[in-house]
Chains A and B, each alone.
Chain A
Amino acid sequence: MKALKRGMLLLTMLAIPLFLAGCDRLIVFDPKGPIARSLTDLIVYSIIFMLVIVVVIFVLFGYIVWKYRARKDDGDFEPKEEKGNHTLEIIWFAIPIVIVIALMIPTTKTIYEVEDVPQGYEEEEPLVIHVTSADWKWIFSYPDQDIETVNYVNIPADHPVQFKMTSAGTMQSFWVPELAGQKYTMANMQTKLYMVADNPGSYYGRNTNFNGRGYAHMDFEVQALERDDFNEWVQEVKDTANQLTEDEYAELLKPTIIGRKTYNQTHLQWIDHAHGGSEKYLNPELYEIHHGGEEPAADEQTENTEQEQVETEENASESSSHEGHSHH
């Protein structure tokens, strides 16, 4: 019994440095844009409070349990009854109230802050990109540029972007931890999310809201480019990419896992899922399950990689690593 306890203690002690070593590289603590930075600041602020609370309670707990433990030589004493203590009870009622206020002020400020164009960028006209989530892929439409991408989105760095988000079916959550936190995408609804990337780079994005078999594979890449590179990329897409047709779009909305794609034109010209009409693309038969059978999405995946995306200089190198975490 004693040996077990000691072994377990040792194991726990060994685990602590492992945890701490991992900490500094955690994605949430490594923001790459002003919006994510204000979220991280709030998180760090709250963690300091929480650590103080945890330390106070742990110390008090350890002290009391140790000091007042039953001893063989305490003569089996009978502790005095105590009803309570008004002063003490008022103190530990008041302290949490102060903490609540201290947490609520920056929380509210940040809540309002992230719903708007970030400070310093008010003068610039945000680039609007429509996000449509489907099973199990992300579709990005650039209405002003009249192009559409699947499972990756290129944005200009150091420039505000506004995502107008909806879903073609199930509910998803659009999350880019290094740049902007997350929000749901819902059929017949539109949610909005601002984002700025400080510098060019590749950022990890994924769906966090479970939506069926292909959910685990529903990640995407946000690639921030220099202004000129971005414009060049748009031009290249317009020159080389295939036209998105209604048939191809209907095919796209089937429940599949696919790679990246790039198109001329957007689907917004015939449907905006934020305003209804998604049902004509839905086919429950495609969602029937066969236990122990092959994943229906698997063969689609190989089929699609051949005709995958227009290869451009910028994203050719990324396509091989799009499954992973960009920052590691």
Chain B
Amino acid sequence: MSLDEFFVTGDPLILGSQIAIGLTMVGLVALITYLKRWKWLWREWFTTVDHKKIGIMYILAGVLMFFRGGVDGLLMKAQTSRPELGFLDAQHYDEIFTTHGVIMILFMAMPLLIGIMNVVVPLQIGARDVAFPKLNALSFWLFFVGAMLFNISFVIGGSPDAGWTSYFPLAGKEFTPGVGNNYYAIALQIAGIGTLATGINFVVTIIKMRAPGMSWMKMPIFTWTSFVTSILIVAAFPIFTVALAFMSLDRLFGTHFFTVAAGGDPMLWLNLFWLWGHPEVYIVVLPAFGMFSEVIATFSRKNLFGYKSMVYAVAGIAFLSMLVWVHHFYTMGNSAAVNSIFSLTTIMIAIPTGVKIFNWLFTMRKGRIEFSNAMLWSLAFIPCFTIGGVTGVMLAMAAADYQYHNTMFLVAHFHYVLIPGVVFAVFAGLYYWWPKMFGFKLNEKIGKWHFWLFVIGFNMTFMPMFFVGLDGMSRRMYTYSESTGWAPWLGFSAVGSVVMAAGFAALCYNIYWSFRYASRDVGSDPWNGRTLEWATASPAPHYNFAVVPEVDRIDDFWYKKKEGKTGIKKSDLKPVHMPSNSWTPIFLGVAFGIVGFFLVFEWFTLAVISSILIVIGLVANSFDYDDGYHIPVDELEEEEREWRGELK
């Protein structure tokens, strides 16, 4: 392979990116060296097993990927803003919508949600870390390496170009012979292993590590949704693992699982993909529901209305989510009976979802609603998500879907579900839990700019898509002719995307501004919260709780505050056992990345040789007898005294 095949050449946009990436990397390395921060980075972040730091790294990576996926989106909007534009050619456009989809779902939504889960869940259940801290670090590094491997594809070798769903036979070697779709198979596999491990980790953490007295029905609702999501991850991700393994075998070793030739069955890919892919939608949406529930209750100053029915609704949605995958291909020529049954199971999801919407509304009723930024996002979610929901019911009706399938109507629908359902939730969660992570609030005034620009831009961008879809525009078209009459809709939509991007820029500015200037004096409980994460200092100390809290009702902390029982006694302090940092997770992550890269290019000798690195990492890990360390009472006392005052 010659060098100009290895690097993607000939496109000024990509050349610009290559130069920018090169310069940024050199700049970063120079900056860290200049500031003498390498040791600090290694000790405090790269080798950390602290769930809060891992969560923050997930969030940072998620925001970065949001930027990347957002730029993809803007390029697409620019290309379709006018008929027959030549800004992007067909191939470039195909690669961009593919990476946009993969990055937004798997490398933006997932890490942002898992990041917030990481920070919040152990704190909410009164634990000192997750059940398997080192595995948690490995999860992060596998995700991160997978994401980076996927991202370099557009400058090295060429990006995947078969859509985020990567449908066969198109995604097979018969129709896409380049390395692009190898990136899809390998990078997602590496990141997927990380996610699966996260699922296992959180299932065990929530089952085994809840504070004394916190029985199932006394758990905070966000912990509940995280628990159900983790179970869904454990149930659904192995299916994707298998599907990707088949895909890799087909592409790298010439097997025929999904090919046109030699008896392959491309429809098998569609089934496997959506058997994972549909639950995946709920994997990202359920924790988001949990965040909204926490925020709405806090800023209405009331407990969550119908807590138990919320829990049942979440469990019901999760269960149904495994039974609806066929609705992604009603048009595959299934029998009328099959389509009818899957229409029914799909529409049934509206029942528990409706219960949730009404419970949120009634949580606010007779409350005292404060329009903080976290609350604004939760409020905007309700009407926007309702539109996404009702159009989802329309799509669920199999016969009607014959007119919506694969059109812009569908594209508008899932953006109306995923952006309010996930992105708004992440924003709400960030504003809400930011002080717990960093010890200062994000600025409320800049936050309002962020909110209004983003929400209005979002509606401007995606509302017109419903209409062009109903007017016959299918998704993923890189161009269209003037005579279609779609130009005004799409032009308006393109303007909206710029407004939305301005909203995102306001968020970035807000983070920068608040980091530099925001008051550090926010106290441990700035929002008058109800759950345990507010019972410890902000930012949370690395041991989380000096004394493990005891719980005897839901929203225990809320009532303890009223009873004035939130203090701790000096005599209760005991040395805290904490896990030690470890170099093996990041080492294994990088090793997987190297092997993955060679596999993408089908350089098998190098792949086999470099897989020795994985073996070294695993062996080193197995012989690691470090049992952690203890924080002495003196140190605990000193840290607690700093924010609680003198201990009794």
In whole angstroms, how far apart are the Cα atoms of A27 and B467 in the complex? 10
Interface SS of B by simple majority: helix
Contact between A22 and B475 (Cβ–Cβ < 8 Å)?
no
Contact between A65 and B369 (Cβ–Cβ < 8 Å)?
yes
Partner pick for B383 among A11, A57, A112, A323, CB 8 A cutoff: A57
Contact between A26 and B470 (Cβ–Cβ < 8 Å)?
yes
Q: What chain B residues lie within 8 Å of A211 (beta carbons)?
A: 170, 175
Partner pick for A96 among B351, B362, B382, B470, CB 8 A cutoff: B351
Q: What chain B residues lie within 8 Å of A282 (beta carbons)?
A: 174, 260-261
Looking at the assembled complex, report how far the CB atom of A301 sits from the nearest CB atom of chain B, in whole angstroms.
13
B354 within 8 A of A: yes
Contact between A84 and B305 (Cβ–Cβ < 8 Å)?
yes
Q: What chain B residues lie within 8 Å of A180 (beta carbons)?
A: 402
Q: What chain B residues lie within 8 Å of A108 (beta carbons)?
A: 336, 340, 343
Contact between B371 and A8 (Cβ–Cβ < 8 Å)?
no
**Stretch touching chain A among B25-33, B89-97, B102-110, B636-644:** B89-97
A270 within 8 A of B: no
Contact between B407 and A279 (Cβ–Cβ < 8 Å)?
no
Contact between A107 and B340 (Cβ–Cβ < 8 Å)?
yes
In whole angstroms, how far apart are the Cα atoms of A295 and B93 in the complex? 13
**Stretch touching chain A among B37-45, B295-303, B431-439:** B295-303
Q: What chain A residues lie within 8 Å of B175 (beta carbons)?
A: 135, 169-170, 211-212, 284, 287
| A 52-82 binary contact with B (CB < 8 Å = 1; else 0) | 0110011011001100111000101111111
Given known A57-B383, A213-B94, A321-B483, contact A68–B308 (CB-CB < 8 A): no
Q: What chain B residues lie within 8 Å of A95 (beta carbons)?
A: 354
Q: What chain A residues lie within 8 Å of B343 (beta carbons)?
A: 104, 107-108, 111
Contact between A291 and B475 (Cβ–Cβ < 8 Å)?
no
Contact between B331 and A182 (Cβ–Cβ < 8 Å)?
yes
Q: Which of B89, B347, B471 has the most CB of A within 10 A?
A: B471
Looking at the assembled complex, report how far the CB atom of A244 sits from the nearest CB atom of chain B, in whole angstroms.
22
| B 438-475 binary contact with A (CB < 8 Å = 1; else 0) | 00000001001100100010011001100100111011
In whole angstroms, how far apart are the Cα atoms of A8 and B453 in the complex? 9
With an 8 Å Cβ cutoff, the count of chain B residues facing the other chain is 111
**Stretch touching chain B among A117-125, A141-149, A187-195, A223-231:** A187-195
Given known A68-B365, A110-B399, A212-B94, contact A292–B344 (CB-CB < 8 A): no
Q: What chain A residues lie within 8 Å of B308 (beta carbons)?
A: 84
Partner pick for A50 among B173, B329, B358, B390, CB 8 A cutoff: B390
B8 within 8 A of A: yes
For window 310-369 of B, CB contacts with A under 8 Å fall at: 329, 331-333, 336, 339-340, 343-344, 347-348, 350-351, 354-355, 357-359, 361-362, 364-369
Q: What chain A residues lie within 8 Å of B340 (beta carbons)?
A: 104, 107-108, 111-112
Contact between B167 and A171 (Cβ–Cβ < 8 Å)?
yes
Partner pick for B163 among A53, A64, A85, A210, CB 8 A cutoff: A210
Given known A61-B382, A104-B343, A288-B177, contact A27–B366 (CB-CB < 8 A): no
A237 within 8 A of B: no
Contact between A79 and B366 (Cβ–Cβ < 8 Å)?
yes
A46 within 8 A of B: yes
Contact between A93 and B355 (Cβ–Cβ < 8 Å)?
yes
Given known A79-B367, A81-B303, contact A114–B402 (CB-CB < 8 A): yes
Contact between B471 and A42 (Cβ–Cβ < 8 Å)?
no
Contact between A29 and B470 (Cβ–Cβ < 8 Å)?
yes
A43 within 8 A of B: yes
Contact between A46 and B301 (Cβ–Cβ < 8 Å)?
no
B11 within 8 A of A: yes
In whole angstroms, how far apart are the Cα atoms of A18 and B92 in the complex? 32
B598 within 8 A of A: no
A208 within 8 A of B: yes
Given known A70-B369, A328-B483, contact A103–B397 (CB-CB < 8 A): yes
Q: What chain B residues lie within 8 Å of A77 (beta carbons)?
A: 368
| B 618-638 binary contact with A (CB < 8 Å = 1; else 0) | 000000000000000000000
Q: What chain A residues lie within 8 Å of B583 (beta carbons)?
A: none
| A 277-292 binary contact with B (CB < 8 Å = 1; else 0) | 0110010110111111
Looking at the assembled complex, report how far the CB atom of B601 sits from the nearest CB atom of chain A, in whole angstroms.
16
In whole angstroms, how far apart are the Cα atoms of A303 and B445 in the complex? 61
Partner pick for B350 among A69, A100, A325, A328, CB 8 A cutoff: A100
Contact between A325 and B10 (Cβ–Cβ < 8 Å)?
no
Given known A69-B371, A114-B399, A287-B177, contact A186–B332 (CB-CB < 8 A): yes
B391 within 8 A of A: yes
Contact between B91 and A291 (Cβ–Cβ < 8 Å)?
yes
Contact between A79 and B300 (Cβ–Cβ < 8 Å)?
yes
Partner pick for B477 among A69, A93, A215, CB 8 A cutoff: A215
B200 within 8 A of A: no
In whole angstroms, how far apart are the Cα atoms of A184 and B405 in the complex? 10
Given known A43-B400, A65-B369, contact A92–B383 (CB-CB < 8 A): no
Q: List 18 A-B contacts (CB under 8 A).
A: A4-B452, A12-B460, A15-B460, A22-B471, A39-B402, A43-B403, A170-B169, A173-B405, A182-B405, A184-B331, A184-B332, A208-B407, A210-B162, A211-B170, A279-B174, A284-B173, A288-B177, A289-B180
B contact set with A: CB distance below 8 Å: 8-11, 14, 89-92, 94, 158, 161-163, 167, 169-170, 173-178, 180, 260-262, 266-267, 300-303, 305-309, 329, 331-333, 336, 339-340, 343-344, 347-348, 350-351, 354-355, 357-359, 361-362, 364-371, 379, 382-383, 386-387, 390-391, 393-394, 397-400, 402-403, 405-407, 445, 448-449, 452, 456, 459-460, 463-464, 467, 470-472, 474-481, 483-485, 488-489, 492
Q: 6 nearest interchain CB pairs?
A: A181-B402, A292-B10, A324-B483, A279-B261, A191-B333, A208-B406
Instruction: Other than A28-B403, A169-B175, A184-B329, give 8 A-B pairs with Cβ distance below 8 A.
Output: A15-B463, A27-B470, A61-B383, A68-B368, A70-B368, A74-B368, A103-B397, A211-B175
